[in-house]
Amino acid sequence: MDINQLVQDGQNYLMNTYKRIPIAFSEGKGSYLKDTEGNEYLDMVGGLAVNGLGHSHPKIVEAIKNQGEKLLHTSNLYWIENQVKLGKMLVENSFADKAFFANSGAEANEGAIKLARKYAYKKYGEGKNEIIAMSGAFHGRTMATLSITANKKYREGYAPIPAGFKEATFNDIKSVEAAITENTCAIMLEPVQGEGGVTPAEQEFLTAVRKICTEKDILLIFDEVQCGIGRTGKLFAYEDYGVIPDIMTLAKALGAGVPIGAVVATDEVASAFNPGDHGTTFGGNPFSCGVGVAAMETIIEEKLWENAEKIGEYFSNQLQKFVDQYAWVKQVKGKGLIKGLELEIEGAPIVESAFKKGVLINCTSGTVLRFLPALTITEKEVDQVISTLSDIFKEIK
């Protein structure tokens, strides 16, 4: 379909919830996409950290074909082999003892909220139900996750927002301590904030939060929806800090493009859920978990977090040259292959210029260029990004 006609039809028939770039992609391979007119683009957005294995990875394609021919869905009234396999993989490669599967990161975070409150309720009774989240946080767009998402623009028009949530300042342990009361049941945070400007937690901060949670019997929840599954240079971001949470949420790269989310937790915490306490119709079905197994197998067997660490360091060094060269380029942020370049000017025009030059990047928090490429990205592909940005930056007065 002609792109102009597609855009017109989209405006006629779809709700106006996205400010979309007037382009549609028809195919992809590795780190590259082709639009409907045959133009090629280097994809540094990666479906917002979803395409951890790039586009059309042969093992993912094979898993989709094989499972599609066998069985898509049965419901959780029955045992699902692929769900058990994926749960075992997550448990055996993390701190966790049990897993629950959902359809998205927001649903995983909802599940974590419910689990934390149910755990506190069963242990302490009513009242201990407050959850503290961080400034700069983004945990989703459902009603409960909006309550712990810092950017107020996402909440406008949706009042009343569910109660029982408080905000502390990210990387400020005194702010966290001040927010804690006898009713606090959990602290929830992203080890690396994505939407919040690609801002990593400081080691001292995370260590202190863990200590406080242990002393006060408060659960620590890590939202690794965007920064998990190999992206920071470890399989899970918590490993990069040596700080173990009680609950962790995952999604995005877990399904390599197929919608899936997960909540994992220790046995003690997970035991708060009994049959009927939480559930899902589509979550953890044979298809999504089958693809999830293929994605995790590939990432683990190839140790792709090592490539994320190696190429991430190379990428940082190349981006740092812009910091040294231009006064309006402030700093390089992030870990591994969740990378940000903070500017003192608006980033949207640079995103548009890069698009015109065949490189897809993203801007978050207004002034931070965000890069979320496939974990398989090469130095040569990074060089293409750097060359494109260099040409753009030279034109900025």
Decide: 269 and 93 in contact? Cβ < 8 Å. Answer: no
Q: Which residue is listed with tokens 């690396």? A: 192
Q: How far apart are CA 306 and CA 293, in angstroms?
A: 20
Q: How far apart are CA 81 and CA 89, in angstroms?
A: 13
Can 322 be counted among the known catalytic residues? Answer: no
Kindly report the backbone phi and psi dihedral angles of residue 264, in degrees, each rounded to the nearest multiple of 5, phi listed first. -120, 150
**Lookup: tokens for 254:** 């877990």
Can 138 be counted among the known catalytic residues? Answer: yes
Provide the angle, in degrees to the nearest 10, between the axes of the packed helices 286-301 and 304-325.
70
Q: Beta-strand (E) ranges in the chain?
A: 25-29, 32-35, 40-43, 98-102, 130-134, 165-168, 184-189, 192-193, 199-200, 219-223, 247-250, 261-265, 329-335, 338-343, 359-360, 362-364, 368-371
Q: How far apart are CA 1 and CA 24, in angstroms?
A: 10
Decide: 190 and 251 in contact? Cβ < 8 Å. Answer: no
Query: Smallest Cα–Cα separation from 312: which of 207, 385, 390, 239?
Result: 385
Can 223 be counted among the known catalytic residues? Answer: yes
Residue of 98, 100, 222, 223 with catalytic role: 223
Q: Which helix (DSSP H) or strand (DSSP E) does residue 379 occupy?
A: helix 379-394
Decide: 194 and 227 in contact? Cβ < 8 Å. Answer: yes
- Contact partners, residue 38, CB within 8 Å, separation at least 6: none
**Lookup: tokens for 106:** 């927001």
H runs (alpha helix) in 217-347: 237-241, 267-270, 286-301, 304-325
Decide: 312 and 339 in contact? Cβ < 8 Å. Answer: yes
Which residue type occupies 85?
K
Residue of 252, 333, 335, 339 with catalytic role: 252
Query: Smallest Cα–Cα separation from 256: which of 306, 292, 203, 230?
Result: 292
Q: Which helix (DSSP H) or strand (DSSP E) does residue 161 occupy?
A: none
Residue of 43, 98, 101, 138 with catalytic role: 138
Q: Which residues are catalytic?
A: 138, 223, 252
